[in-house]
A and B are shown apart, each in its own frame.
Chain A
Amino acid sequence: MANPTGIGASVRRREDARFLTGRGTYTDDINRPGQTHAVFVRSPYAHARITGIDAAEAMQAPGVIAVLTGADMEADKVGSLPCGWQIHSKDGSPMKEPPHFPIARDRARYVGDAVAVVIAETREQAKDAAELVMVDYEELPAAVTSLKALEGGAPLVHDDVGGNLCFDWHLGDAAAVDAAFAQAAHVAKLDLVNQRLVPNAMEPRAALGEYDRATGEHTLTTTSQNPHVIRLLMGAFVLGIPEHKLRVVAPDVGGGFGSKIFHYGEEAVVTWAAKKVGRPVKWTAERSESFLTDAHGRDHVSHAELAMDKDGNFLALRVATIANMGAYLSTFAPSIPTYLYATLLAGQYKTPAIYAEVKAVFTNTVPVDAYRGAGRPEACYLIERLVEVAAAETGIDKAELRRRNFVPASAMPYQTPVALQYDTGDFAKNLDIALPLVDYDGFAARKAESARRGKLRGIGFATYIEACGIAPSNVAGALGARAGLYESAEVRFHPTGSVTVFTGSHSHGQGHETTFAQLVSERFGVPIENVEIVHGDTSKIPFGMGTYGSRSLAVGGSAIVKAMDKVERKAKKIAAHMLEAAEADIEVKDGRFVVAGTDKALTIGDIALQAYVPHNFPLDELEPGLDEQAFYDPKNFTYPNGCHVCEVEIDPDTGVVQVVSFAAVDDFGRVINPLIVEGQVHGGLVQGIGQALYENCVYDEESGQLITGSYMDYCMPRADDVPSFTVRYHEDQPCTHNPLGVKGCGEAGTIGASAAVMNAVVHALSEYGVTHLDMPATPERVWQAIRRHTPAQAAE
């Protein structure tokens, strides 16, 4: 009988009990004796010289303990926030990497850049006193959009970065692409904007710094997706604290979506200040502060061209993209529009030649970095919009055009012209499942029915592939990563047979406490309630690279498997000894250690007890204990892929777009917990739909003020904006190079959805001659597009 808490079971989440009863412990829920509160003074200007800071009045305010500035940090030799990835330009020169101090020293470079921090007895007192800190600013002209920042004579964000150009990078074979274009029967072209987004995890960022004078140990509790990475970056580069004196804890974290990967200045400030004031220091962002200071996502402006032969076979793809980096380089910013974007431009297609150029630009806006999907949604959106344009222009059915160009399953493993090697995938199968699911053939009838009600109807596809399970360290290193990208795990059996698993992955909604426990339950037949998953604390876990890029199961889960392999090897030795059999004769069946061909068997619990009570152990051959550690470094990326189909209805009088159906067919390889996987897809889809229809981060192009700085202005998708979804997956293309056969599911929904929705919107508007619309397709934009394309007499 299948293990009800093993692989493939929709085990109800173990973490839910505490979250549903208000007993989760998020960073802001933690309070320490003697705790003080930090509030930041932030620049109200996008670009300004700081000519003086007068904190005298603030220091006199009730409850104020300290007002600290960039000069104080400089005096303490606090360093710059490091960037974890180095890109080289076409000419071989390294990217421009200007310093990024936790508190600005002489110049503020975006609205919200920290200028000083007030530490007081209460949050309210700190907030009141922050108003009294007098900062003299000399306002400077700002470079706000990436396009304007590249113009000659644009204000310089950093004086020593000419033209605001961080790097000018490329990938692919330009000559081969040029040659293919010269042969093309048809070329489809598209200019598009992948707009800037604010990640908006529901828990605002928070950080609590502590210092123990007795031991010299620092502790930072923070809203992070990867506490070990924060320890490494902050300890080694910013504050100069060695690892053994720095503990970083990421307790329950209320969503991340990428925005909590990065090392932020506030983390360094509270850690540093806790020692300075001799008391714990806590900072919690207000939502307006999150809008201003969390790293944003996307913000690409692109031109793309697709060359085809007369039958619609793709010959070559040429892409030029301008990517906004914001004012400073956030932790992984340079890798997003390069190795997580251009390498995915083959998509699911066998396009033989691809060339991409990417210019990364500094602007007077908050840094831009990974946001759910990180580069891959931008690639998918570009390819899939372009394919849809090509279908419309050539008159080839859009499903057929895709099918004609898919990399066939028989060609796997497939080397793309942009560096990646796909291991598995059956793209035609995804489409074959999707078409009947959405009744593609019945679309014309549904469109006619909508028309009878005065509505427009459109159907749009997106077929996506992503590179997840980041990443083989040697490959990442060759491409500029300044870290390895393995994961660690420790599997500790206790004497009575219960298990603690320590993982370097971090769960902030993904359900690791359930999924990872299922791996152990499956392997050793241990009841799931006897398995504890520990994550998020550098003092407990050997090491960790954390959770992002849909890597937790593929890399972190594989590390657990590797540790369990070691446990099993040792358990076999112990079983052989206990059962007086040869080690080679011990078989593991349904979690029991059996002497082959006999009924002699032990459970892992029997073995664990013996391991810790080794009264009769051959100590020369066997150490006591049953506790094994492993690091897993993946051999390749994993390649989740799928086909998403969206149908929309549009009211031409109001421009309101309604998603009437959405189907997602995905290949995530093997699925451990279907309930959790489907939940990940749902959430991803709504973030993709949010980008397509609602969300848009807008800065004033002159002043650099953030216009969409609250939920009043930044439109988050809500329950009544989206439909229920049809979600399917198949498991017959497992990943070939990790022990679980898993590919990852965290980002897929977001990657496919925006393109599918926009293709449906443009399809619906095509009867007006609309061929493209930039996201988000708000009622106003849709209405304007309809008006622009309506003959004058008809509009009257």
Chain B
Amino acid sequence: MPCTVSMTVNGKTVSREVEERTLLVTFLRDQLGLTGTHVGCDTSQCGACVVHIDGRSVKSCTMLAAQADGAAVTTIEGLAAADGTLHPMQAAFREHHGLQCGFCTPGMVMSAVDLVTANPSPSEHEVREGLEGNICRCTGYHNIVKAVMAGAEAMQGGTMKAAAE
């Protein structure tokens, strides 16, 4: 049975008819064309699909679109400022080479932003534990961890070396 869902996605109100079984990630990708959110597994393990629901990170393959009815959803496409200025976490990933193939990156960045929101000055150990739900096969995590620590500092208002380069 189709049902109608309405939510705010990246600041815009959207309303669509979906099959009840439609996952949030499928809704975002196939119905809204927001293909920055990726699907890397089918067991909610890899974290490539992480988005923010009302400001908290959620694996969008693990909830139905219908469950997000009425929620405010932010995807990777909605993270940068309206003028295109990268979010400090996005800028930190670039500066510290925290991405290679880019496939896990949207989920990794969205998880990192939530991690730092909850813990503004995480230790390396806390960053590593906090990203346990996001798998990256390319970077070996080394530069992701550096990026998240630098991104945390930048989100606190600290300046990041050459971030704007």
Contact = CB atoms under 8 A, between A and B. Distances in A.
Contact of A22 (B45, B46, B76, B138): B76
Nearest to A711: B45
A21 B94 contact: no
A720 interface: yes
B35 interface: yes
B14 interface: no
Interface residues of B, number: 58
Interface in A679-723: 679, 681-687, 710-712, 716, 718-720, 722
Given A23-B36, A683-B137, A712-B45, A719 B128 contact: yes
Interface stretch (A197-205, A419-427, A472-480): A197-205
Chain A CB within 10 A, most for which of B30, B102, B127, B141: B102
A105 interface: no
B36 A686 contact: no
A255 B140 contact: no
B143 interface: yes
Contacts of B21: 124
B117 interface: no
Given A124-B21, A202-B135, A722 B140 contact: yes
B16 to A, nearest CB: 15
Nearest to A16: B94
Nearest to A286: B42
Contacts of A13: 94, 97, 99
Interface stretch (A328-336, A503-511, A765-773): A503-511
Chain A CB within 10 A, most for which of B19, B30, B131, B138: B138
A291 to B, nearest CB: 10
B68 interface: no
Contacts of B93: 16, 20
A182 B94 CA distance: 59
Contacts of B102: 15-16, 18-20, 24, 252, 254, 509
Interface string A1-38: 00000000000110111111111111011010000000
Contacts of B43: 287-288, 710-712
B73 interface: no
Chain A to chain B: the 7 pairs with minimum beta-carbon distance, closest first: A22-B36, A254-B103, A19-B102, A509-B101, A682-B140, A711-B45, A509-B100
A287 B42 contact: yes
Given A509-B101, A718-B135, A20 B48 contact: no
A687 B124 contact: no
Given A19-B105, A202-B46, 19 more contacts: A20-B86, A20-B93, A24-B36, A28-B35, A124-B19, A202-B40, A255-B100, A678-B97, A679-B97, A679-B140, A687-B140, A718-B135, A719-B127, A719-B136, A719-B145, A720-B131, A720-B132, A724-B145, A725-B142
Interface string B123-154: 01101110110111111111111100000000
A21 B132 contact: no
A751 interface: no
B9 interface: no
A654 to B, nearest CB: 18
A29 B90 CA distance: 21
Interface of B: 19, 21, 29-30, 34-43, 45-46, 48, 75-77, 79-80, 86, 90, 93-95, 97, 99-106, 109, 124-125, 127-129, 131-132, 134-146, 165
A749 interface: yes
Nearest to B44: A711
Interface string A595-616: 0000000000000000000000
Nearest to B127: A719
Interface residues of A, number: 57
Contacts of B41: 287, 710-711
Contacts of A725: 140, 142
Given A21-B90, A26-B38, A712-B45, A510 B134 contact: no
A720 B115 CA distance: 14
B141 A686 contact: yes
A257 interface: yes
Nearest to B102: A19
B2 to A, nearest CB: 12
A679 B37 contact: no
Contacts of A682: 139-143
A509 to B, nearest CB: 3
24 contacts: A12-B95, A21-B76, A21-B80, A21-B86, A22-B76, A23-B77, A24-B103, A25-B35, A26-B35, A31-B30, A203-B40, A203-B101, A204-B39, A204-B40, A254-B103, A287-B43, A675-B97, A682-B143, A711-B45, A712-B45, A718-B132, A719-B136, A720-B132, A724-B142
